[in-house]
Structure 1
Amino acid sequence: MSQGSEAARSKRKTADGSPDRLSVLPEGLLLDLLSFLPSRDAVRTCVLARRWRNLWKEVPALRITPATTSRYWSASALNKFVNYLLFFRNRSPLHVAELNSYEDEGGDFDEAVQYLELWIRYSLSCPVAKLCVTSHDEAERWLLPKGLITSEHLTELELTWVKTVQDLDFSSCVSLKDLKMNYCSIYCNRIMSPSLKRLNIVQCSFTANVNTQISVPNLILLLLVDCMGRTPLLVSMPYLVEAFIRLGDCNDFCEQRYEIGDCGDESCWGCRFYENKYGNNNCILLHGLSSCTNLELTAATSPFIFRKDLTRCPVFSKLKTLLLNEWCITSNLGALICFLQHSPVLEKLIIQFEPPEIHERLVEIGASYDLRKHPLVLKDLIVEVKCDDGDEQIHKVLDVLCSYGLPPEKIKIQQPPKVTRARFDDTWTSGSFSFEQEI
């Protein structure tokens, strides 16, 4: 029999009411399959057969995806669909709720986010395990209501283009393990969660008037990338294993280009902020990172906060792998030597150099690092230098390291990796660091 005849007979059987291959599957499996579809498509399966008529009401996923929002001609039309969906849906538990407001550049923003809070409250009441919220407003005007995210069942939370001015206290979310914040305005004093294990903060804006405190004592994985505003203050994280910190266009820079931000110029907002608010006895980042096993500390520009922290540097008693870039290269390499002296079990050091023409000259007046009294011995350290050919800084760094006993055969010079932002974001979820990726 031809394939066309078999297909025709299959259609006739289905039209006659005989069970098709999908219909004979258990209801639980059908619901799992439907949970991968956007909610709009899941609802449309109600016309397939009698058995499918009400299945969409039990689907354990609520997916208002960007693809869904683009199918509607206005925010009002999308809101009407979602509101009816929630009204007629059975209030069964949700594995995931993906909530996107209507995306209309230059349109009615108030209409687009009018029901976003209602949708969040509905999802949390079901309850939901994973909640993803995107306001689709690059101006980040949608203000997260205080105390909105409260749930004993929530394990994963992702916020995109959201603004908050109230402290983010997730103490009531006792099961929360993963928090991701992308392109958010974080204008609050504290982020708190006693249960959080993984924290990703990518391209967010912090307030310029205070170092937002991040208190997550059980964290094991931290990603802080390309954020603006004042660098957040990391409270002790004794279980932290891996961290990637890449400072972007932050406010922690010295207008006079002093190495550790102590120029004393009253007009220099970067230095004056720390002198007046914290004095000289606080560690903004390094104290919270001191339990790491694998650590990347890089900066796109030359903020002084890493070097300032090194003046009261903690001991990195568990650190095995360390990646740094040019921020640690000063005229006498004091910052780099200080870090190595405070990393007694370090096995591998990676230093990445940008092209020589963009190196920034550092003024070293007043730089005084917490150099340890006992000698630094590097005979067991493996060093990788990633740089372009012809960089004079390389020879300076290697000469100093070799003077501390580093064998030349343990030095490896490579071309810098061409890791794009998108590639890094994709690979980070695997737990791998950027220097471990194959290009």
Structure 2
Amino acid sequence: MSGYCGASALNRFVNDLLFFRNRLPLHVAEFSSYGGDNFDEAVQYLELWIRYSLSCPVAKLSVTSHDKYQRWLLPKGLITSEHLTALQLTRVKTQDDLDFSSCVSLKHLKMTDCGIYCDRIMSPSLKRLMIAQCHFIGYARTQIYASNLILLLLVDCMGMTPLLVSMPYLVEAFIRLGYCNDFCKHSYEIGDCGDESCWGCQFYEDNYGNNNCILLHGLSSCTNLELTAATAPFIFRKDLTRCPVFSKLKTLLLNEWCITNNLGALICFLQHSPVLEKLIIQFEPPEIHERLVEIGGSYDLRKQSLVLKDLNVEVRCDDGDERVHKVLDVLGSYGLSPEKFKIQRPPKLTRARFDDTWTSGSFSFEQEI
């Protein structure tokens, strides 16, 4: 596209190309707006091009809006097709529900750096959902309905953490909480801080999950699961107080958010994972990542028993990290034998991969293989 002198030249070329090819079958369509100064001119034909592609009909569609400050508004009901199998949206925004129920063949949806300002994302056919660096509504919780999902990535999003409605076929999930709007102003992360003016605690209680969980209930069918947090993990720790049973979970990766007083958060998770085979705890160097501890409460660990004889634990940390001894001592008190405990250096991380190559064989997907 760099060879075109502005958006108008690119628009004329694409319009002519589509006109002269008529409606020949089209398998893949990728549209990127010109990254110039005139945003309206750059995106004025995107809707027309998308409608043309869906009428061909196209199987894989990618739409990117190139602008530092604006995102293209996706028209309501535009994405409708019986043949579309994969959709990728980059730097677009939506103010209406993303209802893909009419896209009966849609299996893959990837959204990157999008503004998701809607109440619901719905697709009964979707198998793989990847949402990265997106911005959700800041005052309401988007609900994700994808009952046939088998793979979920929800990474570094802002706004209110979305509510995951039941996903009974989910196999693998990677959730990394960034700087979202969910927090207690008193840093009270277990139960309710009791302050009626604390919008974070009050809003957490006002959700729609059957077990009053935001994330964990929807993730409870996973076999492989990664839960990490860049800052204080309000949602993870709140959800653990109403933790569902992870009856199929075999591999679990956590970072510092699970290191609380007496490892209450970690033990609670293990108590609800009866067939867990491998636990990975990944530490950042203390000078990089703040030490996370719960304030004002503790987990009730008497509700569930805990047997660790079949569990293998891997801790990834730098040499001399004192937190490792705490983990070993506490897990040892629950019956974990020393030969089941392994210490490794943290893996070298690469840029996150959100393409179709990520499988359980590259778990964690950010690590350099």
Please report the TM-score for the alignment, with normalisation by the length of structure 1. 0.80
The AA in structure 2 aligned to 1:101 is S
Q: Does 1:293 align with 2:223?
A: yes
Structure 1 residues 123-150: Cα deviation after superposition (integer angstroms, max 9, x where no partner): 0011000000001123343110110000
Provide structure 1 residue ranges, at least 5 long, that are not aligned to the other structure.
1-68
Q: Are the counterparts in 1 of residues 232 and 292 from structure 2 also a CA contact under 8 Å?
A: no
Q: Provide the residue aligned with 1:76 in structure 2.
A: 8
- Which of the numbers 144, 159, 163 marks the counterpart of 1:233? 163
Q: Are the counterparts in 2 of residues 70 and 103 from structure 1 also a CA contact under 8 Å?
A: no
Structure with higher RCO (Cα < 8 A, 6+ apart): 2
Q: Provide the residue aligned with 2:310 in structure 1.
A: 380
Map residues 184-333 of structure 1 onto 2, 5 A cutoff. 184-260=114-190, 262-275=192-205, 282-333=212-263
3-state DSSP of counterpart to 2:318: coil
Q: 1:436 to 1:82 in 2, by over 3 A?
A: closer
Q: Does 1:365 align with 2:296?
A: yes
Q: Are the counterparts in 2 of residues 250 and 303 from structure 1 also a CA contact under 8 Å?
A: no
* Two-structure CA RMSD over aligned residues (Å): 2.0
Residues paired across the two proteins, number:
367
Cα drift, residue 276 of structure 1: 5.1
3-state DSSP of counterpart to 2:323: helix
Q: Are the counterparts in 2 of residues 160 and 184 from structure 1 also a CA contact under 8 Å?
A: yes
Once residues 293 and 155 of structure 1 are traced to their aligned partners in structure 2, the CA distance between those partners, rounded to angstroms, is 25
Cα drift, residue 280 of structure 1: 11
Q: Does 1:168 align with 2:98?
A: yes
Once residues 251 and 400 of structure 1 are traced to their aligned partners in structure 2, the CA distance between those partners, rounded to angstroms, is 32
Q: Are the counterparts in 2 of residues 353 and 387 from structure 1 also a CA contact under 8 Å?
A: yes
3-state DSSP of counterpart to 1:119: helix
Cα drift, residue 360 of structure 1: 2.8
Please report the TM-score for the alignment, with normalisation by the length of structure 2. 0.94
Q: Provide the residue aligned with 2:19 in structure 1.
A: 87
3-state DSSP of counterpart to 1:421: coil
Q: State, as a whole percentage, how many aligned pairs show the same letter.
A: 79
Structure 1 residues 347-371: Cα deviation after superposition (integer angstroms, max 9, x where no partner): 00000011123333434313444x4
Cα drift, residue 330 of structure 1: 0.6
Provide structure 2 residue ranges, at least 5 long, that are not aligned to the other structure.
none
The AA in structure 1 aligned to 2:295 is E
Q: Provide the residue aligned with 1:429 in structure 2.
A: 358
Once residues 328 and 287 of structure 1 are traced to their aligned partners in structure 2, the CA distance between those partners, rounded to angstroms, is 18
Larger gyration radius, structure 1 or structure 2: 1
Once residues 365 and 75 of structure 2 are traced to their aligned partners in structure 1, the CA distance between those partners, rounded to angstroms, is 39
3-state DSSP of counterpart to 2:324: helix
3-state DSSP of counterpart to 1:356: coil
Q: Provide the residue aligned with 2:82 in structure 1.
A: 152
Cα drift, residue 234 of structure 1: 0.4
Once residues 5 and 161 of structure 2 are traced to their aligned partners in structure 1, the CA distance between those partners, rounded to angstroms, is 41
Cα drift, residue 258 of structure 1: 1.4
Q: Are the counterparts in 1 of residues 82 and 102 from structure 2 also a CA contact under 8 Å?
A: yes
Q: Provide the residue aligned with 1:354 in structure 2.
A: 284
Q: Does 1:137 align with 2:67?
A: yes
Structure 1 residues 374-411: Cα deviation after superposition (integer angstroms, max 9, x where no partner): 53110110000001122222111111101111110111
Cα drift, residue 428 of structure 1: 5.3
